[in-house]
Structure 1
């Protein structure tokens, strides 16, 4: 397979997981290359996602490493499947790679949970609300680029509308609901949209009111995407410098606990819907 110029987070994750299997087997890249007939260089290039790997070769490597977790092996083999490029590839030359990686992560997730304190979830934003948030970027993007970003965000939302939509849980702090981005009229329409979306199949919206008190984390946006097996979960964090993706076992464990605590603090679905409607009525 030809060398890649810019592997995606998903491609790098596959290589990282194969390296973990090799290291758990106590094999060096040289030993693994000899055992599988691939050679040290090819094994190393696969592990850093410099070159691709076929599903059957993933299975071959897993057998050589003595991995008995068949569910994990098949999940890794599925990650190696090529085929039609995702819709996000049309933005490859115009948007930062991290945004494309986020769309790819959401597309392949078996469930998505997000915790939001100061912004409303991107997958639940109306085009007008999204447009306003992009206008706050520094430096401010040009009007055509803003529309480009809005179209990208709207296309991300397809995972909630497709046949077999991804199960989606949005835990939103009252602070994010109370911020009147763009004035009362725009805020009302945005909150009404969230209420409508909360009634859709497989979408759960929960609210953490101010009265719940102190909350975990530092107020950052967290997206927890579940993989076909728990070892392949991924966390995406929004920062001022762009997206950060975490997949180390310790990090996944920490953010699972973070999400569990957030969910435990939140109101139930019906109470959350009523809470948002109360805010709407007061606008």
Structure 2
């Protein structure tokens, strides 16, 4: 399917451009379609799922016809779609809902993790350990059981037969310094190795603690790069912060993160070398 989130952003940009091309303010448009100014603003900022009847009314007011009318209506239909994550609601956590939505229509997914573990590659035990740490810090905005179940659903969706190509670069620091119990971490590392051996579209590279010079400042936060099958859907960079996820589709901003990713990828170990390091980290004593 096409990501509804991606299409909502595309629809928002298209509607705003059409309105501005007509020299019409958002306030005037809201009057003509008998909706609030806030409703138009939220639609043009991709904050709500569109109502197809309202989109058609907007297109009529803006005198949009022909191929452009058909194009906008198709985008609106995609934007209004619901995915498996909608059945979870906020119980799976709003941040995880965002990633599930974007991943659903991705062609490629590339991630960099300086101190954590990729969400869709986590074992349930690792996820539960992280949940306990989050609960100790503050009230969590999700239902733990539903978050764990949804994370497994995300994994199945990404690893489906026609799913995206997935690549992750993990800093060695995330493998050597961790807060979960050692047995949980060892099982997690073995799980990463098994996944790369079983899934040909999955690649995991480790950025060693003492790499050669990368020619770039090291990224300070986890970030994610997405491309989509439809070339009219722009590539996307999502940057994870403590409080929120910042979504970028502007070409200059996305290019900055692409360059950062390419630099860390160049400095990372090969896939075979990474598997060897993961195995060593999973069994530092060399015991059978």
Same fold (TM > 0.5): yes
What SS does structure 1 have at the residue aligned with 2:91? coil
Q: Aligned match of 1:133 in 123, 130, 134?
A: 130
* 1:122 is the counterpart of 2:123: no
- Corresponding residue for 1:87? 84
- Corresponding residue for 1:4? none
5 Å-filtered alignment, 1:94-173, equals 94-137=91-134, 138-141=137-140, 145-173=143-171
Structure 1 unaligned spans of 5+: 1-7
Counterpart CA distance in 2 for 1:123 and 1:75 is: 33
1:41 positional shift: 7.8
1:119 positional shift: 0.3
Question: Would the alpha carbon gap of residues 149 and 96 (structure 1) be closer, same or farther in structure 2, given more than 3 Å must change?
Answer: closer
Paired residues, number: 263
Please report the TM-score for the alignment, with normalisation by the length of structure 1.
Answer: 0.76
1:217 positional shift: 4.1
1:203 positional shift: 0.5
Question: Would the alpha carbon gap of residues 277 and 249 (structure 1) be closer, same or farther in structure 2, given more than 3 Å must change?
Answer: same
What is the CA RMSD across the aligned residues, in angstroms? Answer: 3.8
- Corresponding residue for 1:3? none
Q: Aligned match of 1:174 in 164, 172, 175?
A: 172
- Corresponding residue for 1:258? 260
- Corresponding residue for 2:220? 219
What SS does structure 1 have at the residue aligned with 2:143? helix
CA contact (8 A) 1:102 1:236 kept: no
Question: Would the alpha carbon gap of residues 74 and 263 (structure 1) be closer, same or farther in structure 2, given more than 3 Å must change?
Answer: farther
CA contact (8 A) 1:14 1:80 kept: no
Q: Aligned match of 1:28 in 23, 29, 35?
A: 23
Question: Would the alpha carbon gap of residues 139 and 113 (structure 1) be closer, same or farther in structure 2, given more than 3 Å must change?
Answer: same
Counterpart CA distance in 2 for 1:65 and 1:262 is: 47
Counterpart CA distance in 2 for 1:208 and 1:121 is: 14
CA contact (8 A) 1:113 1:170 kept: yes
What SS does structure 2 have at the residue aligned with 1:258? helix
Structure 2 unaligned spans of 5+: none
CA contact (8 A) 1:234 1:246 kept: yes
Deviations 1:84-113 (A, max 9, x none): 621111222434433312110011111100
Deviations 1:22-70 (A, max 9, x none): 48x955347xx99xxxx7889x57534453459x97xx89xx69999xx
CA contact (8 A) 1:123 1:157 kept: yes
- Corresponding residue for 1:13? 9
What SS does structure 2 have at the residue aligned with 1:147? helix
Counterpart CA distance in 1 for 2:280 and 2:204 is: 15
CA contact (8 A) 1:235 1:255 kept: yes
What SS does structure 2 have at the residue aligned with 1:256? helix
Question: Would the alpha carbon gap of residues 234 and 76 (structure 1) be closer, same or farther in structure 2, given more than 3 Å must change?
Answer: farther
